[in-house]
Amino acid sequence: MTSTFSIYALTAVAGLYCIYRLAVRLQLSRAKHPSLRGHSNWSRRVARLVPFFSYDDNAFFASDGAPEPVQQQRRKAIRTLQNNAEQHCHRTLAYLRAIRDSVSDVRFTSRYRVPFPYSDQLPECFRLGSMADESKGSQVRDLDGNWRYDLSGSYGVNVFGYDFYKQCMDEGIAHTRGLGPVLGAYHPLIAENVEMICEVSGLDEVSFHMSGTEAVMQAVRLARYHTGRTHLVRFCGAYHGWWDGVQPGIGNTRKARDVYTLADQSQQTLHILRSRKDIACVLINPLQAFHPNSDAPSDTALVASDRNNVFDKQSYTDWLSQVRDVCTERGIVLIFDEVFTGFRLAYRGAQEFYGIQADLVTYGKTLGGGLPIGVLAGTHRLMRRFKDDQPVNVSFARGTFNSHPYVMGAMNVFLNRIRQAHIQQQYRTSETLWNQRVARFNQRLESEGLPLRITNLHSILSVLYTRPSRYNWMFQFYLRQAGLELSWTGTGRLIMSYSFTDEDFNHVIERFVEAARQMDADGWWWQSPALTNKAIRRQFLVDMVSARFPILKGRLSGPLATTRHDTRSGPMADQDQYSRKVG
């Protein structure tokens, strides 16, 4: 009898435990964003199922169901753009072709400038990207002598204009030339640099690294070391460098079981932070306020016209304040990843911009004064890499080129220059200035009747498309022809520097409008009642399913159905493997 009762009791306990674990799991699932971006494992699995397919020559120009006259307009436009590029950029293109097959970054970015079904038919000269040999102020020059206003921002490095950084580099190297590349021994400028970084960060201690990704790696490692907990929380869509420990979804083949990807601005997320005992740290990318729960906008994902970036500063400030309170309450390390936003949004970066103090802060890009750098700042307690009572229990981190003298020199010039009165005045007025400029930009677009709108977070801009279209990704090539330099992500992110004067900005508006007029005249924004964003996405899904299951080809159709082939072809065939992964 006693034995039977024990079995029943154990069964009941096991059942209750299973119910408890299921409830905990459901709470975690509710805190994730419902999209695939919020479910890293599923996003990786689905990415493997997305087949490559390529629109043939006819479908390339008619995937939206455009009539024959519009198709011919587009064909002529492509030829004109191609001829102009080959004529005016022939030297630049020759150099890019020479390195195309031997520089892996060029192969990758060439593959992902546009939605993948269009890439094989896109003329090669559009895929190759940029090469430059000189910069000045807000402009860069290619090898053919073409000057363009730079909207790429050198991935965020260029906050103050290229002349500013060339001066930082020249002066910094002059200060440290006597020591040269001596490593291990520190150049004395490091002491002043650390003092200024501590002032900016509001923290006690600094470690130097060679990239922002490396600084984030160290921040996460120290958070786990000191809390004794296993997991980190990142927010849906946020980018923290390419390390697989903070990029658990597409692009990473390792199954990261120690990362929770939770929804931004969600009360369910706050509940998870309050209730779980395994969370070591929360990673915040302040730029995510521009597109919460979405990936960074890129033209490679411009399948339709439903890109939507909206920045609400007060709302995101309130959210970060709540996260800060929960982290303090639960002993979770709050990390601000300021690799991109540091020294751009304000003198003290996003911490000042949002009025939130973090426990650890990572910096990079612009802080190096034009040279590569990654920096981690934190409290004395969190930056400590050893335990007094456990001499072998250390958190090891070193790097051969950490604190390189030339980098320390350029950084020193940078940090001293941004303390000057006129730069501090720029910081005080910059947010209002950029908001006013973007408002003026949008007024001009509206007056021209163009299907475009500009959104911004400070001096970081993005292009929204207000008319359903399958060809918005073409706009990047018109902008380039008009004299505007974009990064490989195209119109998703336009990164502008403080060196843009009102006159420069007006020139950018004029060139932007000129490019948009031509794009419109060439028929890429042709419209029909059937061409809705929903219909476009449905047709794209039909195309993918037909490519995955050829037996269904012809049986599936959408409102925009066109002739296409699903077999691999074209000059990019050797890059099939990654395209299958990223989709």
Segments making up each domain of the chain, as ranges? 57-160+424-521, 178-294+313-386+402-417
Output the CA angle 413-140-340, nearest 5 degrees. 55
The C-alpha torsion from 155 through 157 and 161 to 165, rounded to 10°, is -140
156 secondary structure, DSSP code: G
Tokens 């709050």 belong to which residue?
334
What is the reported pLDDT for 563?
A: 38
The order of strands in the sheet holding 494-495 is: 452-457, 460-465, 494-495
Sign of the CA dihedral with 444 first, then 447, 448, and 454 last:
positive
Tokens 């192969």 belong to which residue?
107
What is the reported pLDDT for 26?
A: 67
- CA atoms within a 13 Å half-sphere pointing along the CA-CB vector of 330: 23
How many residues are listed for the chain in this entry?
583
* Long-range contacts from 103-112, C-beta under 8 angstroms, 24+ separation: 107/575, 108/578, 109/488, 110/572, 111/572, 111/575, 111/578, 111/579, 112/298, 112/300, 112/488, 112/582
Helices 2-31 & 267-275, crossing angle to 10 degrees?
A: 140
Question: How many of the other CB atoms lie within 10 Å of CB of 429?
Answer: 10
Q: How far apart are CA 286 and CA 283, in angstroms?
A: 10
The order of strands in the sheet holding 231-235 is: 205-209, 374-378, 360-364, 333-337, 279-284, 231-235, 259-262
| Environment class of 160 (CB within 10 Å of its CB; exposed 0-12, middle 13-18, buried 19+) | buried
CB neighbour burial string for 400-422, b if at least 16 within 10 angstroms, e if fewer: eebbbbbbbbbbbbbbebbeeee
Nearest to 222 by CA among 384, 433, 391, 434: 384
What is the reported pLDDT for 21?
A: 60
What is the reported pLDDT for 483?
A: 97
Q: How far apart are CA 280 and CA 295, in angstroms?
A: 24
What is the reported pLDDT for 29?
A: 67
In this structure, whether the domain defined by 57-160+424-521 belongs to CATH 3.90.1150.10 is answered with yes
**H or E, element range at 61:** helix 57-62
Whether residue 59 contacts residue 562, with contact meaning beta carbons closer than 8 Å, is answered with: yes
Could you tell me where the DSSP H helices lie in 202-346?
212-227, 267-275, 313-330
pTM over 0.75: yes
Q: How far apart are CA 292 and CA 289, in angstroms?
A: 5
User: Which CATH number applies to 178-294+313-386+402-417?
Assistant: 3.40.640.10
Query: Residue 415: helix, strand or coil by DSSP?
Result: helix
Instruction: Name the phi and psi angles at 390, rounded to 5.
Output: -135, 80
| Environment class of 249 (CB within 10 Å of its CB; exposed 0-12, middle 13-18, buried 19+) | buried
What is the reported pLDDT for 23?
A: 64
The string of pLDDT tens digits covering residues 28-86 is 667 777 777 777 777 777 878 888 889 999 999 999 999 999 999 999 999 999 999 99
Amino acid found at 526 = W
Q: Report residue 44 as tokens.
A: 């990786």
- Spell out, as residue ranges, where the chain has pLDDT lower than 70: 1-3, 5-6, 8-26, 28-29, 552-583
Could you tell me where the DSSP H helices lie in 63-161?
68-88, 90-99, 104-111, 124-127
Q: Report residue 461 as tokens.
A: 């801009």
Q: How far apart are CA 58 and CA 61, in angstroms?
A: 6
Within this chain, domains 57-160+424-521 and 178-294+313-386+402-417 share the same CATH topology: no
